[in-house]
Amino acid sequence: MTTISFLSAAELGPLYAAKKLSPVEVAKDAMARIERVEPAVNAFTVRDEAITLAMAEASQARWLKGEAIGPLDGVPVTIKDNIGVAGWSMRRGSAVASDAPFASDSPATLRLREAGTVFLGKTTMPEYGWKGVGDSPATGITRNPWKTGTGPGGSSSGAAVCAALNLGCIHIGTDGAGSVRIPAAFTGVVGLKPSYGRVPAWPISTMGFLAHLGPLTRTVTDTALAMKVIGQPDARDMTAMTDRPPDFVDGLKGGVRGLRIAWSPRLGQDVRVDPEIAALTAAAAQVFAELGATVEEVDPGFADPIEILMTLWASGAALALRSTGPADRAKMDPGLVAVAERGEGIPASTYVDALLNQRNALALKMAEFHERFDLLLTPTLPLPAFTVGRDTPEHGGYGEDWTRWTPFTYPFNITEQPAVSVPCGLTKAGLPAGLQIVGAFGKDALVLRAAAAFEQARPFARVDEPRA
């Protein structure tokens, strides 16, 4: 059971090919584990075991005939609730959304279906993904398997929990201000926000250019395998890249020797970093020097771009809720409603200035920074996971706005750069810390290569069962 349960996507294909394991066995094992742990963590919004088994049986037949589609054929995956899966609802975590079946697959879903993967279900998120924690009026509270009294972060909450417990190998999330990297850090998994447009999106998010799609996995190799598939072009997203993605798996080779790497423990901001997180991430940054890179402590030199973020974020929330009346809004997350109401008052000129001028100025600042440094390292978050059911931690002086405890993630949504969170140790309380690796726009392969080098040097801790 344990042998099957914690195999990676990269390990499954060779076992299928050798007929030592079948996609049906793997799917049944995953479904049994989901049934057992789901009451403790609440990671799923939709599950349909008949569809899961049918997909596994079709994959098994292909492997037996020697006609497997590729390395992900038969690999179990999950999809976040704001990404379309034909025949399954897409409620975006909302209590007032329709539960009618969605008509078609979104691009990432379609690419995974074409690759022969097996869908285990759709995963939880806060309402419309508006905040960095994992509770929703529609699905309740999602919990962190490392300590179920803490939250997993968000908004790709269920995806991160599934990755941490290996309930499937690849979990597709979205990231508009950190929503892949925040839960990756809190749950001790790999979470990649690719360069904007590397993974096509449809329907297009109301958060526009802030919104990226990316995978959460237990290993960097599985992230690379996922990116090779979901990074394929799709005409439904006019903003997406139209070229074929590189071989991200082959690109993991080479290490970091000779790279110029900047380590910025606070991004030059006035932010309180928990002492344990500060120590763990500083030690992680030093590993890159041990691996042959030149590591220098330096800040990128930009002011906190929170006003750019909130102008775009609140405007997007207003658009998302534009058709909801008072009766529906009374059933929704009050914080989301408040953000939407703020967005309704933002002038068009202010929005366009943030979208074009201010965003471009920050992107240019980072482009110039990357002429000097190949990569930037920061903590992913300044603190470990905190009490579940709260939008903000009870201690630390972060205030009442969830963005104040996520200062290291959202700048790189504004600039559209690739950024990955990798686990870099555990606090004394047994909670994960995350290191963020940021690259210049389009340098996704380099970011993953650095993550792979770190993973090999400092293997990640794992959680096999939910812990109280």
Q: Is 155 a catalytic residue?
A: yes
Sequence letter at residue 213: L
Task: Tell me which of 59, 136, 179, 315 is the catalytic residue.
Answer: 179
Catalytic residue among 22, 59, 80, 443: 80
DSSP letter, residue 23:
H
Closest CA to 320 of 135, 107, 82, 105: 82
Q: With both helix axes pointing from N to C terminus, report the angle between 220-230 and 444-457 in degrees, rounded to the nearest 10.
A: 160
Output the six-digit token pair for 400: 């009442």
**In contact, 331 and 95? CB cutoff 8 Å:** yes
Instruction: Kindly name the residue from 155, 157, 195, 205 that is annotated as catalytic.
Output: 155
- Strand pairing partners for 262? 296, 376
Residue 443 falls in the annotated catalytic set? no
Burial of 365 (0-12, 13-18, 19+ CB in 10 A): middle
Separate counts of helices (H) and strands (E) for the chain: 16, 13
Q: How far is CA 41 from CA 123, 150, 155, 330, in A?
A: 11, 10, 15, 27
Nearest to 70 by CA among 59, 57, 56, 58: 59
Token pair 């005939």 is at which residue? 65
Alpha-helical segments (H) within 73-179? 107-114, 157-165
- CA atoms of 309 and 289, how far apart (whole Å): 33
Could you give phi then psi for residue 85, rounded to 5 degrees? -130, 120
Q: Is 179 a catalytic residue?
A: yes
Buried b (16+ CB within 10 A) or exposed e, 230-263: bbbbbeebeebbeeebeebbebbeebbeebebbb
Residue 80's H or E segment, with its range, is strand 76-80
Residue 455 near residue 422, CB atoms below 8 Å? yes
Which residues have a catalytic role annotated?
80, 155, 179
